[in-house]
Structure 1
Amino acid sequence: MNADTTGPHAGAHAGPHAVVVGGGITGLATALRLLAAGVRVTVLEGTGRLGGKLLAGEIAGAPVDLGAESLLARRPEAVALAEAVGLGDRLQAPATSTASVWSRGTLVPMPKGHVMGVPGDAADVAGLLSEEALRRIGQDLELPPTELGEDTAIGAYVAARMGHEVVDRLVEPLLGGVYAGDAYRISMKAAVPALFEAARRHPTLTAAVRAVQAAGSATPADVAGAATGLGGAVFAGLAGGVGTLPVAVAAAVRAAGGTVLTGTPATALLRTGPATWQVVTRDRTLDADAVVLTTPAPVTAGLLAAHAPAAAAELDGIDYASMALVTLAFRRADLPGLPGSGFLVPPVDGHTIKASTFSSQKWRWVAEGAPDLFVLRTSVGRHGEEHQLHREDADLVAASLKDLAAATGLAARPVATTVTRWAGGLPQYPVGHLARVARIREAVAALPGLRLAGAAYDGVGIPACVASAHRAADGIADEIIATSETTHPGAGHSS
């Protein structure tokens, strides 16, 4: 098979060429960063569309997100990327951020004054937890310090300090919304690093929570948020949907001279020199001075098996959770008044759905796009519940309507429904995850011209994925541009 030398800047003096495998937000952000550094880029996406878990769509003519719906605005990376690709004026803070917890059959306003569900004062969660649980929280101040070691499960640690009810009714549903995982398995060091570090420095969990709260009371990101019109909003959306972000980034990549190919999975990775590679697809082979793999861990493991077997084995050990999003559109006039932006559901109560978002109340752009409709969505499935994705669409819709009726009194029938399945959508971060990532990176570091990036490593949120992309791109640029003058005269200089 011949090497593919086609592309926008192909030729003898085209400069160094990087192939980015994976066309999700991580891969696209990697490509844009590399292009800015003067590297020629080809992006390979195995499926027929770009964006990964970011997907904009519509229901009953109303625009909606069918994947991730918000960006963490207190981290700068995703907001900055949106601005860089011309979407800055479409960033929106939620119209309401008042959420509830559906606990013991009642919708209770989400308490304030907690760090990922861990309270700094029992009084802050008095409306949600039992009197016995509130007394148990206070006992944290009387317990001797807990030795955390190198890592610990956040659920186990918090339960030991403050009791299981805090975990089951606050920490679990909040973490479930991020990882679709089990709080009793999730790494505190990876999932809530600020709290983990504070807990190592303070004698009680209460003191650690208060320290994190004090440190985050006025962050630089709040100032940046004010400049974008987001104020101090924790989260932000995009008018038209967060799913429009990868589309805009892909357009920027192409405008900068990059090549983006869909329906082109990488089938093999060949090392052709000390720091050069070939990426094999079904119909072409691309020569590359560098490769960035942004694919899910199992795919990355397969590509690396011949070159870094230890890294491949570690990657194969990363579990993923699968989930489904059930999007429902109602006639607005048929609905009762619904509280706030939605609600979370503690798994301990045994319901099917794990959360519901009232999209038409949370996002102005959804309400304005369909003023006569009310759009909401539910999420179904956690780690270990892959069977939920095998249920028929109608069954998932019926289960969602049953739980919505029990939680809110909603009795109306939807005018349209859409079920979106995300098989293997969320990597799990169990105890020891960061140590695993360190071992993977150590093994890959022995292979010049190769980097990994994506949700499996440094965080599952969009800003974390963009940061991972920038880390990989900057490492590649530093590595190949420094030596490219001898093989690609003029590389690294803009013209």
Structure 2
Amino acid sequence: MQRSTNRVDTGTGHVVVIGGGIAGLAAAHRLLATGLRVTLLEATDRLGGKLMTGDIAGTQVDLGAESMLARRPEAVDLARAVGLGDRLQPPATATAAVWTRGELRPMPKGHVMGVPGDPAALGGVLSPEGLARIAQERDLTPTAVGDDVAVGAYVADRLGREVVDRLVEPLLGGVYAGDAYRLSMRAAVPQLFEVAREGGSLLDGVQRIQQQAAARRQTGPVFQGIDGGIGTLPEAVADAVRAGGGEILTATPVLGLTRTTDGWDIRTDTRVITAAGVVLATPAWSASTLLAAESPAASVDLAGVEYASMALVTLAFRRSDVAATGALDGRSGFLVPPVDGRTIKASTFSTHKWQWVADAAPDLFVLRTSVGRYGEEDHLHREDTELVDVSLRDLAEATGLAAKPVDTEVTRWIGGLPQYPVGHLTRVARIRDEVAKLPALRVCGAVYDGVGIPACIASAHRAADEIAADLAGEIIATPTLVQGTRSEAGQ
């Protein structure tokens, strides 16, 4: 039975944010700080997007993203702003490995996303032939890159395929679930792209990057987690939005978006909301549909964005069983090069990596594996039990782990990560140029400036600030955003 649709006139200075992932929540939080009124609409019954906690053997763990880059300020600053500052926690260990050429080998140091400044840094991970190929790089003529180039293609041309297949691929795959031979260097590793555009030796360019980083003397952890899980951040932001006067509606899909003489009509299944401005913080396919009538060119470009799907398999073992086998050491986990044909692409030893996990479940050992990358989604159609079994088989071969888990959880992220192929930033620029022609409408999220949490928040702040500038004459008063507390965040 079709429900009647009512019109809700929300008046001047009101912005509707469509999408309740971390980008949409960050945009709502930022908009409220400018004095605008905000309604956030989320189609599902849950906020947070790819940030989510869940239960494994009675212990709360992350079932989505588990850490955020701390060398960029946006995510850490937002966490502090909503009352989670005292729960920020760096990894207890950053000692990772690569499961390559039949063994777990220490993750090399002194590289930029797997690209070394010194071939000796990759000893053990690469074969003698692969190391010799890298050593020839300074004798090669410069490689032209034009406006963009695939990371894998460029690095393979300079250093050989082995360094790409054994190190660059697993590292980039851990971020984008993508194919290094398709991924845009300009979008995914911009510091390497600048080196490539300068011409000359890639090895020398990487050394310059490392010297510049050392000169900045950056201190503090590279990554941060949150005690209780990164998945607690969205609800803490949502609580702060509500405390600041914002409205959040879940299970409210947006069916249409229409430009009016005074702003925008946003149609849901029960009502039409009028607003002066709109922030679209949705995946590309959803933004494409909503913009089809008002910005056909942006809609077409958004429709062309491809996504990778993946699954996370979380496993809890009795710690005594794991200790008895001697299977795991103090590592934080390991990466797996796709070239070796394994099913899992990485494993994180959560109990080693996060002290809060170890403290919350002292009798358990929690780890997780990831399965699936761009072009390899067939694994995701397997039953949960099959994904658990294949994860256990790969873990046993990599580490010798023979224990049986006491609990398991499989989380599928279908269409979870937008892909950044060559030319992606040009596509993003076209989308933003077209969207900017519309009054007080902006886009944000993982599609545009990076898939990491800080990048998503930065894109949200950019969208919110531009909307606030467009509606500067409609801002009535600046509300006081209430800083979140543990109780407000549901902790």
Same fold by TM-score, threshold 0.5 exceeded? yes
**CA positional deviation for 1:198:** 2.0
Partner of 2:94: 97
Partner in structure 2 of residue 349 of structure 1: 340
Q: Residue in 2 aligned with 1:395?
A: 386
Structure 2 distance, partners of 1:370, 1:478, is 48
1-side partners of 2:126 and 2:454: how far apart?
33
1:22-421, aligned counterparts within 5 Å?
Answer: 22-219=19-216, 222-223=218-219, 231=220, 233-273=221-261, 276-335=263-322, 336-339=326-329, 340-421=331-412
Encode CA deviations 1:394-431: one digit per residue, 9 max, x unaligned: 00000000000000000000000000000000000000
Distance 1:67 1:142 in 2: 44
Partner of 1:455: 446
Shift of 1:219: 4.0
Question: 1:2: Cα distance to partner?
Answer: 3.0
Structure 1 unaligned residues grouped into runs of 5+: 224-230, 485-489
TM-score, normalised via structure 2 length:
0.94
- Check whether the contact 2:15–2:36 (CA below 8 A) recurs between aligned residues: yes
Does the 8 A contact of 2:184 with 2:423 survive in 1?
yes
Matches within 5 A, 1:4-15: 4-5=8-9, 15=12
Residue 208 of structure 1 deviates from its aligned partner by: 1.4
Q: Summarize deviations over 1:276-322 as a string: whole Å, max 9, x none.
A: 00111011111110000010000000000001111111001000000
Aligned to 2:35, the other structure's residue is in SS state coil
Q: In the aligned structure 2, how far is the partner of 1:476 from the partner of 1:70?
A: 29
Q: CA deviation at 1:202?
A: 4.4
Percent pairwise identity: 65
Q: Deviations over 1:347-402 (max 9, x none)?
A: 00000000000000000000000000000000000011222211100000000000
The whole-number CA distance in structure 1 between the counterparts of 2:213 and 2:426 is 26
In the TM superposition, structure 1's runs of 4+ consecutive aligned residues that sit over 3 Å from their partners are 492-495
| CA displacement at 1:216 relative to structure 2 | 1.8
Q: How many residues align?
A: 472
Displacement of 1:194:
1.1
Name the Cα RMSD after superposition.
Answer: 1.2
Report the alpha carbon displacement of residue 212 of structure 1 after superposing the two structures with TM.
Answer: 1.4
Aligned CA distance change for structure 1 residues 218 and 241 (closer, same or farther; 3 Å): farther
Q: What amino acid sits opposite 1:321 in the alignment?
A: A
State the shift of 1:331 in Å.
0.2
Quote how far apart the aligned CAs of 1:22 are. 0.2
Once residues 404 and 77 of structure 1 are traced to their aligned partners in structure 2, the CA distance between those partners, rounded to angstroms, is 35
What is the CA-CA distance between 1:161 and the residue it aligns to? 0.2
Do the aligned partners of 2:97 and 2:106 also contact (CA within 8 Å) in 1? yes
Give the CA deviation at 1:199: 2.0
Deviation at 1:237, TM superposition (A): 0.5
User: Do the aligned partners of 2:148 and 2:184 also contact (CA within 8 Å) in 1?
Assistant: yes
* Distance change in 2, residues 1:86/1:114 (3 Å): same
1:325 counterpart SS class: strand
CA distance in 2: counterparts of 1:192 and 1:474, whole angstroms: 26
- Aligned equivalents of 1:215 and 1:305: distance in 2? 45
Structure 2 distance, partners of 1:493, 1:399, is 54
Name the CA distance, whole Å, in 1 between partners of 2:124 and 2:84: 40
The structural deviation recorded for 1:88 is: 0.5
Counterpart CA distance in 1 for 2:390 and 2:120 is: 35
Cα distance in 1 for residues equivalent to 2:147 and 2:466: 27
Q: Equivalent residue of 1:124, what SS?
A: helix
Matched residue type, 2:318: R
Answer yes or no: is the 8 Å Cα contact 2:62–2:229 preserved in 1: yes
Q: Partners in 1 of 2:27 and 2:182 — Cα distance? A: 31
How far apart, CA to CA, are the structure 2 residues paired with 1:200 and 1:492? 48
Task: Report the TM-score, using the length of structure 1 for normalisation.
Answer: 0.94
The offset of 1:165, in angstroms, is 0.2
Q: What amino acid does structure 2 have at the position aligned with 1:100?
A: A
The one of 455, 461, 470 equivalent to 1:470 is 461
Q: Which letter maps to 1:469? A: A
CA apart distance, 1:201: 2.1
- Using the alignment, how far apart are the partners of 2:228 and 2:344 within structure 1? 26
Helix, strand or coil at the partner of 2:309: strand
Deviation of 1:494 after TM superposition, in Å, equals 4.8
Q: 1:18 and 1:409 mapped to 2: Cα distance? A: 55
AA paired with 2:232? T
Amino acid at match of 1:316: A
Structure 1 residue 218, shift from structure 2 partner: 4.9
SS of the residue corresponding to residue 422 of structure 1 reads strand
